[in-house]
Amino acid sequence: MILYEIKKGENKNLEFKEKLSSKNKESFLKTVVAFANGSGGKIIFGIKDGTKEIVDVPDKEIVSLKDRIANMVHDKCHPTIILDIC
């Protein structure tokens, strides 16, 4: 299912991010708020925007990435946005 979504590419409910960095933090948060204010959406990490190339996210970093995402959205987005992070 995810490979099919990646192949189709980004759309109004799907966004790709290669990684979460201080450089793209604001862009990520804007996307979260836009999805929350609309009909929802999905952000897939580990995909290069434009090329749809899959980039490795090491297993040891996945839990940390999920925690950073949850904390960032909780700290910066008000009212609270409920996330489903998988």
Peptide bond before 58: cis, by omega within 30 degrees of 0?
A: no
The pLDDT assigned to 4 comes to 93
Indicate whether this model's pTM tops 0.75. yes
Q: Which two three-digit tokens encode residue 58? A: 């090491």
Each residue's pLDDT tens digit, 16-71: 999 998 888 999 999 999 999 999 999 999 998 788 999 988 999 999 999 999 99
Residues in a beta bridge with 54: 47
3-state DSSP of the chain: CHHHHHHHCCECCEEEECCCCCCCHHHHHHHHHHHHHCCCCEEEECECCCCCCECCCCHHHHHHHHHHHHHHHHHHCCCCCCCCCC
Q: Where are the domains of the chain?
A: 2-76
